[in-house]
Structure 1
Amino acid sequence: MTAVEAPAVDPVRAAELARIGLSWQPSGQAALRGPLLRLAEECDRAFTTLAGIWQAEEERHPASLPARRLQRVGYLRSFPHQATFAARLAPEESNLDAFLDGPVLHQGGDVAVTELAPIAQVLTPAACYHLFNDHLGETFDAPRYLTTRNTCFRHERYYVPLRRLSSFTMREVVCLGSGGEVADFLGHARAALDEFFDLVDLPLEWLTATDPFFRPQANPKYLMQRVQPVKHEATYGGDLAIASINRHHDHFGVNFDLTRGDEPAHSGCVAFGIERWLFAITDRHGTNPAGWPGLADAAAKVRSGLGGGRV
């Protein structure tokens, strides 16, 4: 891909974020501590509280997925520019000796690899993929609501602190059911999020979006998303998506053999990018923790207002 220069970062803002707990690496990775880490954890508590509206079951998954499973939905052909792989040296002693006989690291800091073992794992690109993979072949006699959090990995053309990262934290809430059940879930989720955004005084605009396909104009999936939008992003400041609502139809149901009754299951998800929430909250409410809204309390109020249980 053509190199793109990263937008300039305000040094005053960068210093303020560092003061409250952000350590930034040019590779696009962020470390959190202190007030910013506590805010990240409160964000996640708020999102899991919202997931409780549907009594979503929590799951925990590893850092990577089998490439052959991920390719069931054509991920590697659609997003080769973003894929990040779990790689290691081939285990033969001759190969390891050749590695040790070399510089190990090049002058620029890159590992001086010799032969690599076959690559069979893709680092998690989105948290929800694990849910479809782990429930492979299951049949549901009622809508199923699941939630998970994972560190996700995507190669990007540039990185910006908290806004665009190579590894970031994603919380997702997923519904598996009939087409109507998924549509109801997504409609209620959007209403709940609108109320939540209002309570925490975060002005967001819902915009129609598409997934970041490679060479999108040549990809029929991108063209279909333009004709029949399935992705809507809650956008802060006109250009930063901090949450999204996604309707998959039966795409994952067909490819992961998931059924609702006698038909392929439909699915939909609500996704939150936690680091982007940190940017939006500190941009809107400042970097003094005393001025931050009570996210978990606001989420509890939304949940209570919807009856405290599944809608």
Structure 2
Amino acid sequence: MRVSPDGFTLASPGAGLAVLDPAQTALRNDLEAAFLRLAAQVLAPEVVPPALLPVAGLAELDYFKNFPHLCVTADRFSPPAVEALGSGMPVGDLADGLRQSTGFVLPSATCYGVLLALRDQQLATEVRLTAVGRCYRNEDHFDGLRRLWGFHMREVVYVGTQDGADAHLKVSRTFIEQFAALAGLELTVVAANDPFYDTDGSRATLTALDPVKHEFLAPDGTAIASVNRHRNFFGTRLDITHEGRAAYSSCTAFGIERWIHALTLAHGSAEAARDRLARG
């Protein structure tokens, strides 16, 4: 059994779950401070995203058409189930159908809650916001900090003009590449095949010709950050307008636990990774 410098080990409570130890938590805080520098650079104040997302709102965004495999629902026990559990019945013995839908699901990305909060607004100016959320994904397998049921995602979101959305991603990409170099990480940039919106018809063709999402991969292939160009999809679906037309949007995302994984792999420990960041 591995023993930490603190004299104890924080083991995983279950498959796909992790507790960050003190050194990893300190590294997480260092990373958050760095990512907030990008937010400050683009003048994006911080907001707190919602803990749940409405099913109806996500359905309007083709979420369940494109990402049903990732969705983790937020159900509740029915009154008969509550009575049975209160009487001492083991939860594993409950009959099927004793859970009720709440009409909400757990977020799989931070930006959905931010963008849904801008619904039906005529924006007088460009909007830049940043948020960190706990995100949840029903992955086909779990692997340390690389793939978890729940993880933290820091996003920096832009909503406004087409040129502004593109400029936001250019600044973000430069930041990611420069920060990775300071952190001692060699990244590979690849076009991803999981855009936010409908992958059928003309949008799919356009995406194939002009990718809307690029991921930054650590040396072991872990995607630790991405830049995402939504075009005017969210503006159209959510009736968010700017300058008299459907707003364009884009976002930059950082998977914080994945950064911890990549930096620990590169430098041997979270402590060594923190030292490298401090020197950078």
Q: Calculate the TM-score normalised by the size of structure 2.
A: 0.89
2:187 match: 204
2:154 match: 171
- Equivalences for residues 116-265 of structure 1 within 5 A: 116-211=99-194, 219-220=200-201, 224-265=206-247
The answer to whether the Cα contact below 8 Å between 2:16 and 2:142 also exists between their aligned partners in 1 is yes
Deviation (angstroms), 1:114:
5.1
Deviations 1:193-246 (A, max 9, x none): 221111222111111112189xx9x85565653333111011111521100000
- Equivalences for residues 1-311 of structure 1 within 5 A: 23-91=11-79, 94-100=80-86, 103-106=89-92, 115-211=98-194, 219-220=200-201, 224-287=206-269, 289-290=271-272, 292-293=274-275, 295=277
The size of the alignment, in residue pairs, is 278
**Letter of the structure 2 residue corresponding to residue 64 of structure 1:** L
The answer to whether the Cα contact below 8 Å between 1:46 and 1:297 also exists between their aligned partners in 2 is no
| Pair 122,293 (structure 1): closer, same or farther in 2 beyond 3 Å | same
Q: Calculate the TM-score normalised by the size of structure 1.
A: 0.80
| Pair 219,29 (structure 1): closer, same or farther in 2 beyond 3 Å | farther
Deviation (angstroms), 1:274:
0.3
Once residues 186 and 117 of structure 2 are traced to their aligned partners in structure 1, the CA distance between those partners, rounded to angstroms, is 36
The answer to whether the Cα contact below 8 Å between 1:59 and 1:148 also exists between their aligned partners in 2 is yes
Deviation (angstroms), 1:158:
0.5
Deviations 1:10-43 (A, max 9, x none): x9xx877998965324431111131111111111
Once residues 85 and 58 of structure 1 are traced to their aligned partners in structure 2, the CA distance between those partners, rounded to angstroms, is 27
| Pair 99,290 (structure 1): closer, same or farther in 2 beyond 3 Å | closer
The answer to whether the Cα contact below 8 Å between 2:184 and 2:276 also exists between their aligned partners in 1 is no
Say which SS state the counterpart of residue 100 (structure 2) adopts: coil
| Pair 15,74 (structure 1): closer, same or farther in 2 beyond 3 Å | farther
Once residues 277 and 17 of structure 1 are traced to their aligned partners in structure 2, the CA distance between those partners, rounded to angstroms, is 22
Once residues 257 and 172 of structure 1 are traced to their aligned partners in structure 2, the CA distance between those partners, rounded to angstroms, is 22
Once residues 242 and 3 of structure 2 are traced to their aligned partners in structure 1, the CA distance between those partners, rounded to angstroms, is 51
5+ long unaligned stretches in structure 1: 1-10, 299-311
Deviation (angstroms), 1:295:
4.0
| Pair 43,113 (structure 1): closer, same or farther in 2 beyond 3 Å | farther
Once residues 66 and 153 of structure 1 are traced to their aligned partners in structure 2, the CA distance between those partners, rounded to angstroms, is 15
Deviation (angstroms), 1:262:
0.2
Cα RMSD (Å): 2.8
Deviation (angstroms), 1:283:
0.7
Fraction of identical pairs, as percent: 32
The answer to whether the Cα contact below 8 Å between 1:89 and 1:114 also exists between their aligned partners in 2 is no
Deviation (angstroms), 1:150:
0.5
